[in-house]
Amino acid sequence: MKNIYLLRHFKVQDKTTKKLNSHEFDKWVDNYDIYNLQYLDINLPKIDKVFVSSQNRAIKTAQYLKQDFTTLDELVEVEAKAFISTNYKFSKSFWLIIGRLLWYFNLSKSEKKEDTIQRAKKIVKMLENDDSQNIMIISHGLFLKILQKELKSSGYSGKIDLKPNNGVVYRFWKGKE
């Protein structure tokens, strides 16, 4: 039986509460990856191999868990960017929700939804071709949602929360339990 464990990086300690214009939002996105994390002690299952997003928050999570790992650019989060240039200020949530809606409808200026799905399919194919039986993926919320959908399409069983929680291990398996 093959086990794929999905882990969303530890929660970012972001205390930004003010509203942001487009330039400030883009700067916040750039800085988000270098904020401190809220580390958790979690019980990990038996792991043979770990693949980690090349973004800093995922790498810091793997390092804290004292895991040897391989970084993969294919595991990065869907990029967040301001969808318009404006001095009007909006909440981070507003900027993020509109950006995700544009991504969902393939209207994003950066990565399109189909590009993200193709990245996930590439990862699933790589996992299928790997001889390891217990593989952990440390990545990001939206990408993990797409990845789990592709795992299920490839015959894996398992479940992930509607919004994957930081620091929670989700198990997907293929074969007899």
> What pLDDT shows up at residue 3?
98
Tell me the per-residue pLDDT of 154-167, one tens digit each, with 9 for 90 and over.
Answer: 999 999 999 999 99
Tokens coding 52: 């980690």
> What pLDDT shows up at residue 109?
85
> What pLDDT shows up at residue 41?
94
What is the topology classification, in CATH, of domain 2-11+19-174?
Answer: Rossmann fold (3.40.50)
Spatial contact of 109 and 84, defined as CB atoms under 8 Å apart: no
Tokens coding 113: 């939804």
* Per-residue pLDDT tens listing for the chain (177 residues): 999 999 999 999 999 999 999 999 999 999 999 999 999 999 999 999 999 999 999 999 999 999 999 999 999 999 999 999 999 999 999 999 999 999 999 999 889 999 999 999 999 999 999 999 999 999 999 999 999 999 999 999 999 999 999 999 999 999 776
Tell me the per-residue pLDDT of 51-65, one tens digit each, with 9 for 90 and over.
Answer: 999 999 999 999 999
Distances 170 to 1, 29, 156, 164 between C-alpha atoms, Å: 16, 26, 12, 9
> What pLDDT shows up at residue 110?
87
Q: Phi and psi for 36 in degrees, rounded to 5?
A: -70, 160
